[in-house]
Amino acid sequence: MTKPDIYVNPVVQAVRQLHEDLFTEAFRRLSIREQLQRQAQRIVEAHESGSTAVATHVTCWHPQLVGHSVDDIMSHELTLRDARETIAREYGFSNWADAEARGTSPPNREFEAAVDALLAGAVTDLRAMLEQWPSLIHQRSSFGHRSTLLHYVGCNGVETYRQVVPLNLADVARVLIEAGADVNAPAEMYGGNCTAIALLITSAFPAEAGVVDDVVQVLIDAGAETSDD
């Protein structure tokens, strides 16, 4: 079977390459706070070596450097404390202390595997997982943003390396909806109350991939509410 095409924006690709050797099976068995600690250390090391890939993390999530330019970020001192606060917010925690307090266990393995299948556009595998573990469709991420699987369709507000767009995203959304996904369920990123459709239409990446209209229609047909409703 031919694998579906995946659109990856260059800034997301740079982040994926920065951390890709970390994301082993052994890494995934670590507690959330240890996973984030290792990513924070990688961000500091990369900043010291001049890798501009760290700028995406920082300009999106650092509490004081949000919106700053790449040049500004690379010329700014970046401590381990800075990197911890940045990565904690990227994963939906309010700060590093929150991530330490709530991240004492590893993330749920079945949920994480389902996210991987979803983002790979592997609809057959995703459907099989949902049949084997039906509760996954209403389960929440162990990370601070507390996304459901459907929120990952929005390619927005979740961990940066996962903000990729399978070009069969409309089919992925249908599989989740057929399994019982709540299209109006809120998640906790950006202050809370974020629905999948709100994340989708405010994300640049699905628009760049040319899939927004089809996915929006799937969500609306399933009862998704928009700000105009």
pLDDT at 228 over 80: no
Helix (H, G, I), strand (E, B) or coil at 78: coil
Per-residue DSSP letter, 151? G
pLDDT at 1: 53
pLDDT at 97: 98
pLDDT in tens, 176-227: 999 999 999 999 999 999 999 999 999 999 999 999 999 999 999 999 998 7
Reported as a pLDDT band with limits 50, 70 and 90, residue 4 is confident
Q: How far apart are CA 35 and CA 12, in angstroms?
A: 19
Average pLDDT in the 103-121 region? 98
Residue 68, CB-side half-sphere exposure with 13 Å CA sphere:
19
pLDDT at 226: 86
Kind of pairing between the strands at 165-166 and 6-7: antiparallel
Q: Hey, what long-range contacts does 175-178 have (CB within 8 A, 24 or more apart)?
A: 175/123, 175/126, 175/127, 175/130, 176/118, 176/126, 176/130, 176/137, 176/149, 176/150, 177/150, 177/218, 177/219, 177/222
Nearest of 226, 207, 195 to residue 169 by alpha carbon: 207
For 210: left if phi > 0, alpha if psi spans -120 to 50, otherwise beta; the answer is: left
Give the Cα-Cα-Cα angle 36, 204, 16 (nearest 5 degrees).
35
Paired strand residues for 6: 166
